[in-house]
């Protein structure tokens, strides 16, 4: 298979997600939180993370234009599906699978700030700081990773591999040789 080298095991992810949930619980104690998941990559991380957060949580999703089958960002971000609810006066925590160039999250933060939330923070599972094109820094981060294309635990390549329970490095040559849908 094209994604064979395990970068982060199920166990490592589980224990780090629990730590993130504890920090978030501590930081938002006594407040209600609106968790905004960025579709689709964050869905597994978000599902695990919210179950470790012990403050009242409301969940909403946003979908943005993404790489499609490619592994390089076009630099253009568009909203494909907006939030269902207003966030004015709310404590908003954006949850994303990975920050790479930073273009997506810089855009999301810009858009949500205009809606005047009480507070706005971002939690990412993975950070690839070596490829950053903006000054974006996440408030909560699971793991800093090297410049490799990773899949699993919600992250995909051409829609595949999201269901892997661990996070693996995609070996592109092998993946292409599979005759997949890219």
Q: How far is it, in rounded angstroms, from Cα 134 to Cα 48?
A: 28
Minimum CB distance to ligand XMP smaller for 20 or for 99: 99
| Strand-by-strand arrangement of the 150-151 sheet | 5-8, 167-169, 150-151
Q: Tell me the site size for ligand XMP, rule CB under 6 A.
A: 18
The correct pick among 149, 153, 164, 175 for binding ligand XMP (CB under 6 A) is 149
Binding marks (x or -) toward Mg ion, 35..54, rule CB under 5 A?
Answer: ------x-------------
3 is a contact residue toward ligand XMP (CB under 6 A)? no
2 is a contact residue toward Mg ion (CB under 5 A)? no
User: Catalytic residue among 97, 100, 127, 156, which?
Assistant: 100
Taking the complex as a whole, how short is the minimal distance between the CB of residue 146 and ligand XMP, in angstroms?
A: 10
DSSP the chain: ----EEEE-HHHHHHHHHHHHHHHHHHTTTS-EEEEEEETTTHHHHHHHHTT--S-EEEEEEEE---TT-SS--S---EEE--SS--TTSEEEEEEEEESSSHHHHHHHHHHHTT--SEEEEEEEEE-GGG--S----SEEEEE--S--EEBTTB-BTTBSTT-SSEEE--HHHHHHTT---
The correct pick among 7, 100, 168, 175 for binding ligand XMP (CB under 6 A) is 100
Minimum CB distance to Mg ion smaller for 125 or for 169: 125
Taking the complex as a whole, how short is the minimal distance between the CB of residue 55 and ligand XMP, in angstroms?
A: 25
Question: Is 100 part of the annotated catalytic residue set?
Answer: yes
Minimum CB distance to ligand XMP smaller for 69 or for 85: 69
Residues that bind Mg ion (CB under 5 A): 41
Report, as residue numbers or ranges, the catalytic residues: 100
Residues that bind ligand XMP (CB under 6 A): 41, 66-67, 73, 96-104, 149-151, 155-156
């Amino acid at each position: 298979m094209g994604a064979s080298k395990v970068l982060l095991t199920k166990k490592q992810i589980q224990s780090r997600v629990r730590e993130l949930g504890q920090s978030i619980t501590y930081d938002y104690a006594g407040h209600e939180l609106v968790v905004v998941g960025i579709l689709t990559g964050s869905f597994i991380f978000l599902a695990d993370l919210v179950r470790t957060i012990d403050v009242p949580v409301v969940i909403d999703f946003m979908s943005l234009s993404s790489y499609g089958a490619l592994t390089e960002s076009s630099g253009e971000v568009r909203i494909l599906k907006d939030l269902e609810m207003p966030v004015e006066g709310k404590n908003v925590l954006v949850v994303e699978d990975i920050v790479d160039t930073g273009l997506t999250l810089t855009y999301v933060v810009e858009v949500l700030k205009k809606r005047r939330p009480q507070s706005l923070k971002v939690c990412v599972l993975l950070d690839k700081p070596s490829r950053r094109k903006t000054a974006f820094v996440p408030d909560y981060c699971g793991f800093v990773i090297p410049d490799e294309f990773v899949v699993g635990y919600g992250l995909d390549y051409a829609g595949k591999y999201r269901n892997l329970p661990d996070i693996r490095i995609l070996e592109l040559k092998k993946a292409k040789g599979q005759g997949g849908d890219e």
